[in-house]
Structures are given as C-alpha cells and as structure tokens.
Structure 1
Amino acid sequence: MSENYREWQEKIPFALWGYRTSIRTATSATPYYLVYGMEMVQPIELEVPSLRILLESQVPEADRVQARYDSLVMLDERRLMRDERRLNALQHVQLYQKRIERAFNKKVKPTGISEGDLVLKSVRALLPIDPRGKFKPNWAGPYLIKTILSGGVVRLTDLDGKDFTNPINLDQLKKFNP
C-alpha cells in the first residue's frame, strides 16, 4: 500500500479497516458483525447514501425513539440471537478447519519409519556458525529410533547407544538408506 517504507504507520488504520470489514471465510461474517451484531456504516455511505441510510434518515423522531425503546425491551432476545450467531460462526470455523485438515491430509505421505530403523535428522540450527556456509550438510546421522511416542514424537539414540535428551518430531526425520 505504501510507496515509501517509512510511511507504513500511516497505512495501519486503512489495513485494520479493511480487515474488520471484510468477510472471513471461516466464520462467513465480518469481525465487526460478530462483535456488534450489525453491519457497519461505511464512510462512503454517508457521502453517497445507500438504501439503508436513506430509510433510516426518513424516519420521524418519535418513531426513532419508539424503535430505541423497543430495542431495549428486546435486549434479551437480541442477546440470544447474538449467541446464536456466535454458535453459527463457531460451526463455520469447525467446518472450515475440517476442510483444511482434509486438504492437508491428502498431501501427507506416510514415512514408513518404525522403531529400530536407522534415520537421518534434519539440521536446522543456525547458531553454531559453520564455516562451510550454504555448503554445510542438511542431514545428520544416522541415528537409531528408540521409541515412537504419540503425536509423531520420537526418541533417538546414536549408534554408540547414547540417548538424545530431547525428543524429535517425526517430520524432521527421513529413513536412512545406506
């Protein structure tokens, strides 16, 4: 949005406005609607009146006061409706998460790793600066799988029988083929 990297802080309100007024896929509602229970009036609607604004502006003052009184009387019913909207949003989120999970699980490939297999461990640490730079190895090992715990957590030992102190996630391992 900004042409100069120094003016980003001036664009934050516009980005937040766009976020709060755009419909989320997961809830199929805007964040503003979920908080306040109504759609917000866009600033452009004040300059170029929409049908909603025109209808509200042509209501006499007595009718407006009566409508306000009725809305206060119906407060409990509106609270129930708000709770129902939140439940609907929660259901949308859960369905959306299931769709995302199914799409992700289609791409997951089983590793075929079991206890007693030799594996290589991914080298991701950047702290000990390696003089080889980008030519340093990406995999370390081989290591022996001691146990596989729930959730894809693995305990490793090296070939000398020394146990690793920290468990490793299964996605950081690949089968060693000598």
Structure 2
Amino acid sequence: MALKKKLGEAKGQWADLVPEVLWSYNTTIHSATGETPFKIVYGTEAMIPVEITTPTIRAEHHTQTSNNQARATELDTIEEVRNNASLKQKALQQLTQRQYNKNVIPRAFQAGDLVLRKTEEARRTQGHGKLAAAWDGLYRVDKVLGMGAYTLQTLRGSTIPGTWNVSSLKLYIS
C-alpha cells in the first residue's frame, strides 16, 4: 500500500523505491505493537539519515563509551520491549475480535427445522439479474453433522446430495 502511494503515476520505478518504502515501514511506530519493527528486532531506534548529516543533540553527544553503555542497557531491556509489543498486539487482536463478534448472530438448526437455501449464482434465473431470488426452496434439515454442516431433504422426503453450511441456510418462519 505504501509503495502504491509513493509511486503515484510512475509505475515503472517501483524497484527504485522499495528501499525507501521499507525504511519508512521499519522506522514508523505501528499501532498494533506501539513500537517500530526496527526497535523490536535490534533493541534500539534507528538513526535516520538526516540526524547523521545535520547536527542533533543525539549525534553531538555521541561518544563511544556512552554509546556502549546505552547499547548494553537497550540489550538488557529488549526482551521486555518485545513482550510488551506482543501483549499490545494480542490485546488489539482481542478487541478487534470482540467488536467483530458483537455483530455476528450465531445460528444453529435442529433436525426437522424448515429452512431456505441461498441461491448460488449457477442456479439463479438468468433473465432477472440482481432482482433474482436470493433464497430458494423450502427444505427440511435431515441431519446435523456438526461444525455448522447440515444435510437437507425436500418436503417429500428425498435427500438433497451434498452438505450445506449454516451460512447458506436461513430458518423459514411461517
């Protein structure tokens, strides 16, 4: 996505821009972890090229001994940084899952329930376009196979070949 934004109209130059996009991706804080991928891997923040060429406090006060001490401290705390990032990512996944599942309405059918079956594209009437019926038939649930799978039969008792997922069925209420 970032490569697409960066390119704009110049589609043929994508190979030249890959390093820039990767640098940008690896040095940007991600909301899922609260850290940059560079810090999670190496335990320290990357020094961007502008900081090297333009004098900054970080670059001006750099000495080998202070750098070694800071690096040792960063290496001591890297596991904690990784664990915190992992916890943040799991918390975000749980939040996303909770928000998604809030809108999901679980359905289950019993043997003998009357259901309608979603009309697949191949079985739709050709001339009706988007106005064709989305649901067909009136079927009886023959067997509950588990994990949302069912076998169906017509109202006359003949079994329909194949199994049907709960997402393709709707309870018929008369």
Q: Give the TM-score, by structure 2 length.
A: 0.69
CA–CA separation in structure 1 for the residues paired with 2:117 and 2:37: 43
CA–CA separation in structure 2 for the residues paired with 1:67 and 1:114: 66
Q: Secondary structure of 2:102's match?
A: helix
- Residue 35 of structure 2 aligns with an amino acid whose one-letter code is A
CA–CA separation in structure 1 for the residues paired with 2:61 and 2:162: 69
- Residue 7 of structure 1 aligns with an amino acid whose one-letter code is G
Q: Secondary structure of 1:90's match?
A: helix
Give the equivalent residue in structure 2 for 1:4.
Answer: 9
1:158 lines up with 2:153 in the alignment: yes
CA 1:54/1:106 → structure 2, altered by over 3 Å: closer, same or farther?
A: same
2:89 pairs, out of 93, 106, 111, with: 93
Q: Deviations over 1:97-140 (max 9, x none)?
A: 121122112222344x42132333334567x9985484454334
1:36 lines up with 2:33 in the alignment: no
Runs of 4+ in structure 1 deviating by more than 6 angstroms, as ranges, are none
Q: Is 2:145–2:151's contact at 8 Å kept on the other side of the alignment?
A: no
Give the equivalent residue in structure 1 for 2:134.
Answer: 138
Cα drift, residue 65 of structure 1: 5.8
CA–CA separation in structure 2 for the residues paired with 1:130 and 1:84: 61
Q: Deviations over 1:51-110 (max 9, x none)?
A: 222222xx2xxxx16854x689x59x92x5322222212211221112112211222234
Give the equivalent residue in structure 2 for 1:15.
Answer: 21
CA 1:71/1:18 → structure 2, altered by over 3 Å: closer, same or farther?
A: closer
Give the equivalent residue in structure 2 for 1:147.
Answer: 144
Q: Give the TM-score, by structure 1 length.
A: 0.68
Give me the CA root mean square deviation. 3.5
- Aligned residue pairs total 163
- Residue 28 of structure 2 aligns with an amino acid whose one-letter code is S
- Residue 93 of structure 2 aligns with an amino acid whose one-letter code is Q
